[in-house]
Amino acid sequence: MNNDISRISLFVKKIILSGVFLFIVFLHLYYLTPGVDAGIHMYGSFLITKGLLPYKYLWNNKPPLIYVIGAIGFLLKSNPFLGVRVIELAIFSCNLFLVGKIVRAVNLREPFLYLLTFSAIYLVSWEQGFLTETFDIPLTLAALYLLIRKIKHYELICAFLLTASFLLKQNAVAVIAGIMLVDVFSNYRQNNKKKKIIKYSISLLFFSLLLYLLLSRLGIWNDFIDQVFIYNIKYEDRSSFGTLIVNHIRRNSFLSVKGISTVLFFNICILLTLWKYGKMKRDGYVFELKDWLLVNLIIIYIASYYFVYMSGKSYPHYFMLLIVPATFIMGHYAAETKIGKITLGILLIVGFISNISAIPQYKKIYENRKTVVYFLKNNTPADEFIHIAGFGNQYLYVMADRLSHTKFILPLFENNGYTTRYKSILVNDFEKHPPLFIILNKNNYKQLDPNNFYTEIVMKTLQRYRLVYENELYIVYKRN
């Protein structure tokens, strides 16, 4: 009787997990035009397929690895974003495999719940994919799994993973750096702190040198430093620490109810769990491997939280950088408590509803993009330039197979970021090399700051253009 119940339970679990997996596959294959950030990434990849390099021909304050990944998608010439989706689904499958390997290696209860937890968090935070955070996940999972397995030459491998993580997004390194610090200050793998520090330092220096040599050879090292480091450090708007906290609590956009995110309640539970383990330690409790893993992942989660949200923004996809520790923390709650299982069920429902409810809006965007691209392709010579003003439409360049006339394919958020050199470039691009068409998104261009230097240049240039095409979402102007 018990065996029959166990078999039925296992069958039900497989059905549930398979259903969630197939839903995620459906979403990737259905949403075949990217969102704002993903569209910029695809344009950078598009440049590479044309023999052009980001940083020289695209201004963006992201590191370069995402463009290289996207370029692989262009092997499917008829639909490069479908090619990217295949890569994303392969990565998602790899993530589930690594979560399962970690669960088994640590001998955690209810492996199914950890896989379901990862999938649920992914559903509510993926934001239609092809984001730098997406590709950081397998790197973080690999760093954790290889530490648990005490693999040889771990310092060299982990330094490589951290470098690759940085090349996706600057603050993506927080969790892997935390895993490295756990390794240094614990005796889990070996009891030789000094030796580990030396190995990590040499390995990181080695990969940093390789990066410098590669980007210098390509002639984009200075532009890389200028856009990825100098701009973010010198010009990005930053609030005081107190203001950041208030905004994060009261005006959070991720899983929020009237601006207050339910993630904050999760964070409170984490702090209570850490306090409980501290008390257990003082009472003489001997930690097992699963306890050691959970406590360290809680510490890493807490320490990484600020680095993930230090910009003051709280987009859902930012939480993807915390998905690895969050999966094992929330998975622990789901495996050990009824309220944890109920919370996981609610999270799954929210993930399904939020993604399904976005379908009508997606269909509208997709159809309007197709018609405006048809117009551009049929009215623009292959070697002519266009310009898509504002945010959220940059994949139109790829769909139309046309390049922007300027590296500034979207406005800089901080108006003081327009240095004298940047202003000179923009003025030259718009006045001496104006595009044949300028395309405005009806929903987005009104949101542009009229005092922004980029906006001023675009609006001034439009005075020499005439309206030639319009659909539900887009307005196209042609040069007189």
pLDDT in tens, 163-213: 999 999 999 999 999 999 999 999 888 888 899 999 999 999 999 999 999
pLDDT tens track for 18-71: 999 999 999 999 998 888 899 999 999 999 999 999 999 999 989 999 999 999
Direct distance between the N- and C-terminal alpha carbons of the chain, in angstroms, rounded to an integer: 81
- 240-267 pLDDT, tens digit per residue, is 777 778 878 888 888 888 778 889 999 9
- Mean pLDDT of the region 145-151: 95
- Given a cut of 80, is residue 5 above it in pLDDT? no
pLDDT score, position 191: 84
Residue type at position 195: K
Provide long-range contacts, Cβ within 8 A and 24+ apart, for 196-203.
196/155, 199/155, 199/156, 200/155, 200/158, 200/159, 203/155, 203/156, 203/158, 203/159, 203/160
The per-residue pLDDT of the chain, averaged, comes to: 91
The half-sphere exposure of 332 on its side-chain side, counting CA atoms within 13 A, is 20
Please give the distance of CA 86 from its chain centroid, rounded to a whole number. 17
pLDDT, one tens digit per residue, over 311-325 is 778 889 999 999 999
**What pLDDT does residue 4 have?**
59
Q: CA 299 to CA 179: how far, in whole Å?
A: 10
Q: List the structure tokens of 218.
A: 């390509």
pLDDT digits (tens, 9 = 90+) for 389-400: 988 789 999 999
Beta bridge partners of 439: 388, 476
| pLDDT 10s digits, 456-478 | 999 999 999 999 999 999 999 99
Q: What are phi and psi of 169, to 5 degrees?
A: -160, 140
Output the pLDDT for position 3. Answer: 66
Q: Residue 109, exposed/middle/buried by CB under 10 A (0-12, 13-18, 19+)?
A: middle
For residue 399, give the H/E element and its range. helix 395-400
Of 162, 125, 126, 116, give the one whose Cα is nearest residue 142: 162
Here the tokens at position 280 are 């257990």
pLDDT of residue 143: 97
**CA distances from residue 120 to 151, 323, 338, 377 in whole angstroms, order as listed:** 30, 10, 17, 40
> Over the stretch 316-359, which tens digit does the pLDDT of each residue have?
999 999 999 999 999 999 999 999 999 999 999 999 999 999 99
465: tokens are: 């253009």
CB atoms within 10 A of CB 122: 22
Q: Does the pLDDT at position 296 exceed 80?
A: yes
> Which residue pairs, CB below 8 angstroms and at least 24 apart, start in 431-435?
431/461, 433/385, 433/405, 433/406, 434/405, 434/461, 434/464, 434/479, 435/384, 435/385, 435/386, 435/387, 435/404, 435/405, 435/479
Token pair belonging to 423: 């202003």
H or E element: which one contains 91?
helix 80-106
Q: What's the predicted TM-score (pTM) here?
A: 0.92
C-alpha to C-alpha distance for 457 and 31, rounded to whole angstroms: 33
Yes or no: say if 154 and 147 are a contact pair by the CB < 8 Å rule: yes
In the chain, what percentage of residues exceed pLDDT 90?
A: 71
Centroid of chain to Cα 340:
26
Going through 330-401 in order, the beta strands assigned E by DSSP cover 386-388
DSSP letter for 285, please: P
∠ CA 272-273-278, rounded to 5°: 95
- With a cut of 90, say whether residue 236 has pLDDT above it: no
Long-range CB pairs of 193-198, under 8 A, 24+ apart, other chains included: 196/155
pLDDT of 14 above 90? no
Q: What is the pLDDT of residues 274-289, one digit of tens each?
A: 999 999 888 888 888 9
pLDDT at 448 over 80: no
Task: Calculate ∠ Cα 258-315-24, nearest 5°.
Answer: 105
Burial of 428 (0-12, 13-18, 19+ CB in 10 A): exposed
